[in-house]
Amino acid sequence: MNSVALSADGKVLAAGADQLYIFLAEADGTFVAPPLIASPPTNPVNSVAVDPSGTWMVSCDQAGNVCLSTIASGGIQTFAFSDPSVHFHSVAIARSSDFFAAGGSHFVYLFSKTSMMQSPPVPVAPRQQTSGSVRWVAISDSGAFITAVSNNQTTGVLTAFGREMGSLIKAWEKPLNFKPNGTSIDSTGTFVAAADGFDADQPGGTFYLFDSFGTKIGDLGTAKMNWPIAVSADGTGVAAGSDDGYVYFFVPQDQ
């Protein structure tokens, strides 16, 4: 299992593995079995995100597919965008709009639900390049601010993009100490978090917190690589996990 995601009410569960599996909850909260299967993708699904409404979700796979799946009357309809040159790693949905981001190889894409339901499905803007291989993306609620972390062999980079006049514009880039594994932003895009670390058998990792302009608020070094990091929707806290066996919680300085 590579990725799981829930709707806001917890009644729609999506799981990405060899395929995209969708579980729908009964009135009592139990999930229906067997799950629905969205097709495509048929390649290993690296990442999945569910819209808060639970009526649609997005996923990406290793063969260059980004898919939008809609749920209606217990059935699934899937729309697929394909770029075989890209190994997609991550997708993220804006919580209060129909925009979503996808990242893989050296590129970040911006889509909307509307653009994906066109024939053929297309991004809303030309893809933007990063300085390394994208591992994770995050997006603000409005879909106007996107961050991505990219792996550049032994180090990494955090890149921020803005949406302006229908285009995706690179706002800033910041170097990271090690290979990055995750990024997260709050609802308004006020705070940007990132986590990095060497391979599991190597020492060294860092948690970072930046503001929306790319100014570093603080960082914390760890003995092992760090994986997940998440900023709360209201920006009052940051939770993160590390291979050192600890879960960390941070409070931004101006809270």
pLDDT digits (tens, 9 = 90+) for 186-236: 999 999 999 999 877 778 999 999 999 999 999 999 999 998 999 999 999
**Rounded CA separation 168/128 (Å):** 7
Kindly indicate the confidence band of residue 154, based on its pLDDT and cuts at 50, 70 and 90: confident
Residue 11 per-residue DSSP state: -
Q: Cα(63)–Cα(244) distance, rounded to whole angstroms?
A: 33
Query: What mean pLDDT, rounded, does the chain reach?
Result: 93
Residue 102 tokens read as 């996808």
255 falls within a domain: no
> In this structure, is residue 168 part of a structural domain?
yes
Q: Does residue 164 lie in a domain region? A: yes
Whether 159 maps to a domain, the answer reads: yes
Tokens representing 163?
Answer: 């949406």
Composition of the chain by helix, strand, coil, percent to 5: 0, 55, 40
Give dist(CA 2, CA 8) in Å, integer: 20
Rounded to 5°, the CA angle 209-183-88 comes to 160
User: Does residue 103 sit within a domain?
Assistant: yes
Range of the domain at 13: 3-250
In a domain, 122, yes or no: yes
Q: Which 8-state DSSP code applies to residue 185?
A: E
The CATH number that applies at residue 109 is: 2.130.10.10
Tell me, yes or no, whether 245 lies in a domain.
yes
What's the pLDDT band for 40 if we cut at 50, 70, 90?
A: low
Reported confidence tier of residue 167, pLDDT bands at 50, 70, 90: confident
| Radius of gyration, alpha carbons of the chain | 18
Q: Kindly state whether residue 11 falls inside one of the protein's structural domains.
A: yes
Count of the separate structural domains present in the chain: 1
Where residue 254 falls among pLDDT bands split at 50, 70, 90?
low
Mean pLDDT, to the nearest integer, of 50-72?
94
Give the pLDDT band of residue 29 (cuts 50, 70, 90).
confident
159, 130 contact by CB (below 8 A): yes
- Select from 210, 246, 196, 203 the least CA-distant residue to 224: 203
Confidence (pLDDT) at 231 = 97
Nearest to 39 by CA among 1, 79, 72: 79
Cα angle at 100 between 106 and 32, to 5 degrees? 115
Distance CA 74, CA 254 (A): 46
pLDDT of residue 84: 93
Phi-psi region of 5 (alpha: psi -120 to 50; beta: other; left: phi over 0): beta
Q: Is the dihedral of CA 99, 81, 5, 25 positive or negative?
A: positive
Check residue 215 and give its pLDDT: 97
Q: So what's the pLDDT on residue 41? A: 59
Alpha-carbon span 34 to 47, nearest angstrom = 21
Please return the burial class of 184, using the count of CB atoms within 10 Å of its CB with bins 0-12, 13-18 and 19+: buried
